[in-house]
Amino acid sequence: MASVSHLAPIHLGLDVHRDTISVGVLVPGEEVPAVDKIAHDEPSVRRLVGRLGDPRQLQACYEAGPTGFELARLLHSMGVSCQVIAPSLIPKAPGERIKTDKRDCRRLARLHRAGELVAIRIPSPAEEAVRDLCRTRGDMVEDRMRARHRLSKFLLRHGRIWREGKAWTLAHERWLVTQRFTEPALQTTYDHYRAVLASRDAQLEAIEADLAVWQDRAPFAEQVARLAAYRGVTRLGALHLAAEVGDWRRFARAGQFMGFCGLVPSEYSSGQVTRRGHITKAGNRHLRTQLVESAWAYQHRPSVGARLASRQQSLDPQVVARAWAAQLRLCGRFRRLRARKPSTNIVATAIARELAGFLWAEMAA
C-alpha cells in the first residue's frame, strides 16, 4: 500500500485474529476503505503504521475479543489513537447476513469515522492482571460446583441421599466420609470424585489467599473499603467489582451501569405498546454474577452483624449511612417482591439491579 499523508485523520478498521489483521484504511475524501492484510505481530504493525505517514493522524479501532488489549497498547506506544469497541453495540443493518474479514474491517472504518461506535475502557496492565486473577477465582468456583454436582449425582444414582439439612456443610462432610461401597469399582470411583473435590477446594483457598493481598493495595484499596461497607459485599467481592469496573465515573447514570452489568430488562416495543422481558444478560457476566450473589444477603431483616461492622470501621460516617439506607431499601424490597413473585431467583436479580445502582452512586459520588 502506498504511503499517504493528509491533514485530516485516517481511520483504520482492524479485524483482529490470532495470526492476521485485516485493515480497512479510510482516507479523507473516500467512501470505500482500502483493505490490507498483515500478520498479527509487532514488526508488521510497525511497518503498516510507517507506510501511513504521521501516526498522530491515524485513528484505529477494533472489536473487543479474545486477543485482548495488547494491540491497542502497542499502537498507543507508537502515537496512534486506538479504541477498542464494544461488539454488542456495533450498528448492523437488518438484512446484513454476509460476514467476512474484509467486510468487517471496512464497516469498522466507516462507522468509526461516522462516530457511531462505542469504545470500552482499556485497563492498565496492573488492573488487567488483578482482574484476570479475580476471574480465575470465578473459574475455580465453577469447577468446584461441577465437581460437587458429579459427586452428588453419583451418590444419587446409587441411593445415597443426604436428608439431614443443607449439603456441603460440616455435617454433610462427615456423612460423606462414612460412605462405603461393597463393589471395588464403585469405591474407587467415589474416592476419585472425593479427591477431585478436595483438590478444587484447595485451589480455591490458595487463589483467595493470593487475592487477599490486593485488597489493600492501590488502585483498589479505597474502592474495596467503600464497597465492602454494603451488606452482602465482602472484601473479596468488592475487589472483584473494583477490578471489573475500574473507573466508575465513566457511567453517566446508574441505568448505564446496570445495562453494563446486563441486569436491565429486554424491551420489545412498537407504537403505543411496550413489552419488557427477561434481563438482557448482554453485559459483564462477572459483575452480574457477583451482584446477584451479594443480593441474596438482603433476604433477611436489616441488621449490622459483626463482620459488616468490622468492615465499616474507620470509614467515613456518610459512607456507612448510605450503606444503611441501601440496606433498609433493599431488604424491604426483597420482602415485598418475594410475596408477589413465584421465583426467588427473579427477586434476587431485581435486588441485584438496584444494588448496582447504589454501588454506582457510592463510587461515583
Opening angle at CA 65, ends 60 and 68, nearest 5: 75
For residue 237, which of 252, 220, 251 has the smallest C-alpha distance?
220
Rounded to an integer, the average pLDDT of 100-115 is 95
pLDDT band of residue 93 (cuts 50, 70, 90) is confident
- pTM for the complete prediction? 0.87
Cis peptide before 94 (omega within 30 of 0): no
End-to-end alpha carbon distance in the chain:
50
pLDDT band of residue 363 (cuts 50, 70, 90) is very high
Residue with cell 459483575: 287
Task: Give pLDDT, residue 92.
Answer: 86
Question: In the predicted model, is pLDDT for residue 271 greater than 80?
Answer: no
- Model confidence over 281-316: pLDDT tens digits? 878 999 999 999 999 999 999 999 999 999 999 999
Task: Give pLDDT, residue 168.
Answer: 96
For residue 347, which of 334, 332, 356 has the smallest C-alpha distance?
334
Fold of 10-114: Nucleotidyltransferase; domain 5 (3.30.420)
Task: Give pLDDT, residue 89.
Answer: 84
* Alpha-carbon gap, residue 260 to 283, rounded angstroms: 5
Query: Are 118 and 86 contacting, i.e. CB atoms less than 8 angstroms apart?
Result: yes
CA 100 to each of CA 95, 96, 113, 239: distance values in angstroms, whole numbers, following the listed order: 15, 11, 20, 39
Residue with cell 462414612: 178
Q: What is the DSSP string of 175-227?
A: HHHH---SSHHHHHHHHHHHHHHHHHHHHHHHHHHHHHGGGGSTTTHHHHHHH
3-state SS class at 102 = helix
Opening angle at CA 132, ends 129 and 134, nearest 5: 115
pLDDT band of residue 277 (cuts 50, 70, 90) is confident
Query: Are 99 and 222 contacting, i.e. CB atoms less than 8 angstroms apart?
Result: no
Q: Count CB neighbours of 116 within 10 A.
A: 11
- Model confidence over 113-166: pLDDT tens digits? 999 999 999 999 999 999 999 999 999 999 999 999 999 999 999 999 999 999
| Domain range annotation of the chain | 10-114, 125-216, 221-364
Phi, psi of 67 (to 5 degrees): -80, -10
Task: Give pLDDT, residue 222.
Answer: 96
pLDDT band of residue 279 (cuts 50, 70, 90) is confident
Task: Give pLDDT, residue 44.
Answer: 97
CA 210 to each of CA 134, 204, 236, 245: distance values in angstroms, whole numbers, following the listed order: 10, 10, 11, 20
Task: Give pLDDT, residue 184.
Answer: 97
Tell me the three cell numbers of residue 215: 485488597
- Model confidence over 70-81: pLDDT tens digits? 999 999 999 999
Does an H or E element contain 172, and which? helix 170-178
- Model confidence over 212-257: pLDDT tens digits? 999 999 999 999 999 999 999 999 999 999 999 999 999 999 999 9
* Alpha-carbon gap, residue 235 to 225, rounded angstroms: 7
pLDDT band of residue 207 (cuts 50, 70, 90) is very high
Rounded to an integer, the average pLDDT of 15-28 is 96
Please, what's the largest Cα pairwise distance for the chain?
82
Q: What is the DSSP string of 217-259?
A: STTTHHHHHHHTTSTT--HHHHHHHHHHHS-GGGSSSHHHHHH
Average pLDDT, the chain: 93
pLDDT band of residue 365 (cuts 50, 70, 90) is confident
* Alpha-carbon gap, residue 160 to 187, rounded angstroms: 13
